[in-house]
Amino acid sequence: MAIALLAMLAQMERIYMLERAAGARAAKEAHGLPTGRPAKLNATTRAGAAQRIKDGAIPEQITAELGVSRSRLYRELPKHRETTSHEG
């Protein structure tokens, strides 16, 4: 019975934690603040990386300088292409 009581308290705390997180997220959105994890690369960094790849740089060099993984670099490059195609 003690284990069931502890499990119930843990489940209740989990529900309260999710409610607090949802409330904090809603408050940030109401104030126009960004939610979630910050982006690893911004638009300027993506543009610089895309230009360096176009100039013939090795992706491993770029990832070492930016401090990101190769897969992150390849995920970010299409975002750069999307923003440049909308501008032109």
Encode pLDDT of 51-80 as tens digits: 998 898 898 999 999 999 999 988 888 877
Highest mean pLDDT among 14-18, 30-34, 56-60, 81-85: 14-18
Type of residue numbered 23 = G
**pLDDT value at residue 63:** 92
- Give the largest CA-CA distance in the chain: 68
Q: What is the pTM of this model?
A: 0.54
Mean pLDDT of 27-39: 91
Helical segments of 1-88, H only = 2-30, 43-54, 59-66, 70-87
